Structure 1
Amino acid sequence: MQDPWLRTIRPLAACALQGIGFLGDDLIALDSIRGYLLRINPATDDTTILNTLQVEDFIGAEGLSLWQDALWVARDNSVFFCKMGAFSLQHFFTLPYPVTGVGVWESTIYVASQKAGYIYIFEQASRREITRLPLPGVGSANLVVREEELWVCDRLEQTVYCLDRATGEQKFSVLTPFESPTGLAFHRHPITGSEILYVCYAKDEAFIRDNPNNLDSPFEVSFRDRTFVHPLQFHYEPKTHYALSNGYLIEMSYAEELLPLEEVNLEQLEWRIALPAETDRQKVRSVEPIGRPYTEEIQDGQRVAVFRFETLKPNERHLFGWKALLEVRAIKYQFTFDDVDRVPMLSPEFKAMYLVDDDELAMDMPLIVEAAREAIGTETNILRKMLKIRNFVYDRLSYALTPRIDPPDVVLERGIGSCGEYVGLLLALARLNGIACRTVGRYKCPPQSEYRMVPLEPDYNHVWIEFYIPGYGWLPMESNPDDTGEGGPYPTRFFMGLPWYHAEIAKGIPFETLTSHGKPVDTVSIGELAINHVRFTVLDELPPPS
């Protein structure tokens, strides 16, 4: 039976929670659309509106914070406070820019403004600004103070940061399991005494609406508010240089249905399909065959299933593949620019494997050579170089699904690319600048972790990259999802990080290959031979990482 204090909290009548705190064991939440201050029982979702006569004053407010008998909120450019129970807002301070978050510790007030890019720190009695600290992300932020730590959640970054309260130095950061975190609060479990970090989320979601007035086409796409509170599980060990957060046990199936467009006859056919990898964030509990048995081989350190057919005859039909039980978590690597300022030279073996044009990367084309030079300028730090290359690509490309993967020079001239074409350009520019990197994929589980025991099918495959830091190892970087706006600034949530819903398969090797009599099949493509079937099922949320 699930611990009621570790469940998802879904308060009644709430539209968009923009701040949370605890008063005893009751969760106090601010709904910015309705203007409600809600008292919620975390174990039952029982919900009460506290400010029954003052809701208009709280419409558009955000950044709720509680300290003793006082409640603090932000609205537009100003910070307000009131006594719990009275709910008559009093003005505290007005900034030149909109305020999105407020945190309180004793007589010190912390105020976040994304537009200004700072966390302002005020003395309560004098209302004097003491100092200011830079905000760590690029989106709207909310705050909570815990003794000597300042915790910040960023909506666009999908990240919670732990900062030193005095200096603003980042201790570590973790990815949240859902998009658009809007508030956070700590509370001790009433029975075990363990501390739990709760995070609230607010975002519109699309759904299929049945419109009975439209008889010809009654099903329509519409949008509705989606807001809830969920415990953020996390673990950070400085020695490993990464932080893990919420994870899920998922079942993934990958199968090919042999259904050729034109009948073919192939002999001594070997059909190789890569298997899920063991990584810092992904553990493989089990893998079993679907339809036909396979033998397992190791290719460049990666597990591969090999299906063998003595003769593939015309009109022959098969279903074959694998089913895996995976533990997947979000991961965020915690390297700073200073950590990698002096790293060892890349080994000759890695140069030969990961600095070459091995996949039509157009690395000898003048346009790509010049782009590689322009992307990094005079930068020498490996992390800064990789980040500048990513931002250069984001500045020049916009995402769109394309019918085929074109070479990087064609993609750069066109200015539009799919995830695979982002990857090709990133690989070319990084390798020309001496950074070893490789393609990784291959699928993402639909990020709907609340749909337990329900088969979920991704619409497309997906690829991203890993780049190598000598002396440490491979770090992930998404291809296009962080390219969120024209000209930036771009979030860095998936720079050295991956969310829980990525399935890591085929690191630096092809996902699928065909050979006949030991030679690559070039007379027909996999897509012309078979239809793939990909299915994910979220079975359960994993216990806290350790």
Structure 2
Amino acid sequence: MIPDLTTSTSLKNQLSAKTIRPIAATSIHGIAFRGDAMLAIDAKNGYLLEIDPSTNNTKILNPQHWQDFVGATGLAVAGDVLWFATEESVYFCSLVEGDFTPQLFVRLSYPANGVAVWESTVYVTCQKTGDILVFSRETGKQITRFYAPGIGVENLTVKGEELWVSDTLEQTVYCLDRATGKVIFSVLTPFESPTGLTFYIDPETGKEALYVAYSHWEPYIRDNPNAEPERELQYRDRTFIHPLHFHYYPDKRYALSNGYLVEMSYVEELAPLDPIELNNLEWRIALPAETPRQKVRKIEAIGLPFTEEIRDGQRVAVFKFDKLTDRDRHIFGWKALLEVWSIKYRLKPKDCEDLPELPEEFQSRYLVDNDDLAMDTDIIRRAAVEAIGRETNLLRKMYSIRNYVYDRLSYGIKPHIDTPDIALRRGVGSCGEYLGVLLALSRLNGIACRTVGRYKCPPYPLQRGVPLEPDYNHVWMEFYLPGFGWLPMESNPDDMVEGGPYPTRFFMGLAWYHAEMAKGIPFETLTSEGVLVPKEKVSIGELAINHVQFTLLEELEPEEG
């Protein structure tokens, strides 16, 4: 029996949290609710859309005035008045009359990106100046301005005493104090390029939801019968609206957002390239870790059984072979059921004043060159001094080191990892080489840090139940803040704007698609007759083929408390 979609209250509540895909929309920039109807601006076509969130049914409200809305990047609704931003101007029009003839509110010297209205105050974002401008609704005069929290195109909405801002490049939503513009906390979005946001309170349940719009291009393979070959790479617009689930833990100084239940498997297929014989072999593979943003529900063996050991606080699977030769064939590894969330810490430089001393065991382990970091070379020592200048605050030092490395390296994939001195001199590096330079400069400046990895799930959270295979492994880092603990920092993904300014989305933050394991320890090692087998003698990459898969099972919401 087909359920009645129009009368099922429980189903309506379920649909209120689903992905909304407005029909015929190409590039949504700005969303707002008016009653139960969602309004959205399609910047490419100039459509002001009215959307039913439960059915995706879509209506164009401005069929005669769509030209006036082309290029609009902001939208707000205050009572019966619609506000939007386009080019250098902010306009308003009446929703009651349905005329939609724009009336000028204010014109800026630079493009206006987002607009929000609260009683007698109008907030406007401007990427060019890096500000949130505050105007009087009655006079149109500027009252004050706040620093914009990110570097991309920003949209915004108001909720009580809070100003909420989305940023396209930062992949972040910020919660600001509406009176001062100070950031209270921020959360990472599960998709790239957020272009609008709005809150909605279900009148039946009283449950509040934050919806975020996304708009960008995606590549796809087009079947073109007139081309040779028939299949060709093309790009198309991709836009949709998705609820942003989050929870801020002020006592822990971080916020979690949109989590996923993920099945991850790591398997080695034994297929040696050269003749080999290893006796009493122990093959160790790190297991997923328990962290504030990652929980392990279950781990089981694949192919062959393993024993588990703890190394430096990390779980490691140990596979044992009496004898392993080039004639043997096995598959072995593990499968884990993981809960993963995005995490973003909120710490400021003033929180890093008068820090306690770094524990002695950390000094002997995380401030030394124990991984071919070339910390004794002139180029690395000189860079360590240049990177921080006269800075003494630990958080500012770490931020300065990151930006220094981003200024001097460009991303490029190589078949092997060179030492930091070579990578810095060359000016091009993989994630591992970025990491090596970051570790070397940080440790020389007294900042304890370690390698973290190992894989990233392909970032397609709408592809549920389909095995996803990453193209590469990945490493990033954690730096230690005495008195607080370890903080994450990506190695290279934020190096996306030539010469800066650089996003800070992954500075003290990680996206949901990171699978954490091997914190400060090797991910995979071989021991024969109780002795560690050096890479120069036996390369794991020449012994076996690794198979890594992620399957997204369901979306999760962070727990309160």
Moved over 2 A (4+): 543-546
Match of 1:5 among 2, 16, 19: 16
The match for 1:114 is 127
Shift of 1:135: 0.4
Aligned counterpart, 1:75? 86
The corresponding residue for 2:384 is 372
Deviation at 1:515, TM superposition (A): 0.8
Task: Please give the per-residue CA displacement for 1:348-379, whole angstroms capped at 9, x wherever unaligned.
Answer: 11000100000100000011001000100111
**What is the rounded CA distance, in whole Å, between the counterparts of 2:445 and 2:470 in structure 1?**
34
Q: What are the residue-to-residue correspondences of 1:214-229 with 2, within 5 Å? A: 214-215=227-228, 217-229=229-241
Amino acid at match of 2:222: R
| Contact 2:257 2:342 (C-alpha < 8 Å) held by counterparts | yes
**Is 2:552 the partner of 1:541?**
no
What is the match of residue 69 of structure 2? 58
In structure 2, distance between residues paired with 1:511 and 1:34: 50
State the partner residue of 1:132: 145
Q: Is the 8 A contact 1:443 1:503 kept in 2?
A: yes
Q: How does 1:136-285 map to 2 (within 5 A)?
A: 136-215=149-228, 217-285=229-297
CA distance in 1, matches of 2:317, 2:523: 10
Q: Does 1:33 align with 2:56?
A: no
**Equivalent residue in structure 2 for 1:48, among 32, 37, 59:** 59
Shift of 1:220: 1.4
Are the aligned partners of 1:233 and 1:545 in contact in 2 as well (CA < 8 Å)?
A: no
Preserved contact between residue 246 and residue 545 of structure 1 (Cα < 8 Å): no
Counterpart position of 1:87: 100
Displacement of 1:60 in angstroms is 0.6
The residue number in structure 1 matching 2:527 is 515
Q: Any idea what the Cα deviations from partners look like across 1:75-100, whole Å, max 9, x if unmatched?
A: 11111110112211011111111110
Aligned to 1:487: 499
Match of 1:325 in 2: 337
Offset at 1:545? 3.3
Cα deviation, 1:453-481, whole Å, max 9, x if unaligned, reads 00000000000000000001000000000
Query: Which residue identity lines up with residue 224 of structure 2 in the other structure?
Result: N
Residue of structure 2 equivalent to 1:527:
541
CA shift for structure 1 position 214: 2.7
Distance in 1 (CA, whole Å) between partners of 2:274 and 2:426 is 34
> Do the aligned residues in 1 keep the contact of 2:257 with 2:557 (CA within 8 Å)?
no
In the TM superposition, residue 302 of structure 1 has moved relative to its aligned partner by 0.2
CA shift, 1:191, in A, is 2.6
SS, match of residue 487 in structure 1: coil
Residue identity opposite 1:405 in structure 2: I
Structure 2 counterpart of 1:466, from 478, 488, 492: 478
Q: Which one-letter code corresponds to 1:13 in the other structure? A: A
TM-score for both structures, normalised by structure 2: 0.96
Unaligned runs of 5+ in 1: none
Distance 2:522 2:236 in 1: 41
TM-score by length of structure 1 reads 0.99
Secondary structure of residue in 2 paired with 1:6: coil
Query: Equivalent of 1:100, from 113, 118, 131?
Result: 113
Q: CA RMSD in A?
A: 0.9
- Report the equivalent of 2:316: 304
1:374-453 to 2 correspondences below 5 Å? 374-453=386-465
Equivalent residue letter for 2:559: P
User: Matched residue of 1:111: which SS?
Assistant: strand
User: Is the 2:271–2:326 Cα contact (8 Å) retained in structure 1?
Assistant: no
Amino acid at match of 1:63: G
Q: Equivalent residue for 1:291?
A: 303
What amino acid does structure 2 have at the position aligned with 1:20?
Answer: I
Identity across the alignment (%):
63
Give the Cα separation in 1 of the matches to 2:181 and 2:50: 32
1:313 deviates by 2.7
Q: Deviations over 1:429-486 (max 9, x none)?
A: 0000000000000000001011100000000000000000000100000000000111
Contact 1:268 1:310 in 2 (8 A): yes
- CA displacement, residues 200-248 of structure 1 (integer Å, 9 cap, x when unaligned): 0000011111122234x22211111100001110100210110000000
- How far apart in 1 are the matches of 2:326 and 2:551? 34
Letter in 2 for 1:344: P
AA aligned opposite 1:186: F
Code of the aligned partner of 2:58? T
TM-fit CA distance, 1:62: 1.4
Q: Distance in 2 between matches of 1:251 and 1:187?
A: 32
In 1, Cα distance between the equivalents of 2:559 and 2:461?
17
Q: CA deviation at 1:544?
A: 4.0
Per-residue CA deviations over 1:300-346 (Å, capped at 9, x if unaligned) read: 00000000000113311000000000000000001011111221111
Q: What secondary structure does 1:306 align onto?
A: strand
Q: Give the superposition deviation at 1:263.
A: 2.5
Deviations 1:85-118 (A, max 9, x none): 2211011111111110000001111010010111
One-letter amino acid of the counterpart of residue 440, structure 2: A
Q: Aligned to 1:349, what secondary structure does the other structure show? A: helix
The residue type equivalent to 2:195 in the other structure is T
Amino acid at match of 2:152: G
Give 3-state SS (helix, strand or coil) of 1:74's partner.
strand
CA distance in structure 1 between the partners assigned to 2:389 and 2:333 by the alignment = 46
Q: Are the counterparts in 2 of residues 379 and 385 from structure 1 also a CA contact under 8 Å?
A: yes
